[in-house]
Amino acid sequence: MEDCFNGLKTIKFEVDGEGMITKMANMMSSLDGEIVKFNKNFNCVGEVEDWLRELEGHVSATLKYWLNE
């Protein structure tokens, strides 16, 4: 993620009942080690270019949500 987004290191995916990683992301971490829970889960499906573009807006919306709370 570091190469695509300035300051974003990773996103964390949910695990299903069988212990398998899903495509549903529920939090992100920064290069500084800060962890932020998404205000709404983000589904990483479809073409990578498309969901990465949508992820950018989702990250902004999540930060705006938590900063205004």
For residue 61, pLDDT over 90 is answered with yes
For residue 58, pLDDT over 90 is answered with yes
Judged by DSSP in three states, 5 sits in: coil
Q: pTM of the predicted model, to two decimals?
A: 0.84
Domain membership flag for residue 58: yes
Domain membership flag for residue 42: yes
Residue 57 phi, psi (nearest 5): -65, -35
**pLDDT range class, residue 28, cuts 50, 70, 90:** very high
Q: pLDDT tens across 36-47, in order?
A: 999 999 999 999
User: Is 39 in contact with 65 (CB distance < 8 Å)?
Assistant: yes
- How many domains, in total, are found in the chain? 1
Judged by DSSP in three states, 36 sits in: strand
- CA 54 from chain center: how many Å? 10
For residue 65, pLDDT over 90 is answered with yes
Domain membership flag for residue 53: yes
What is the extent of the structural domain holding 19?
Answer: 8-68
CATH number at residue 59: 3.20.180.20
In this prediction, residue 7 carries a pLDDT of 83
Domain membership flag for residue 1: no
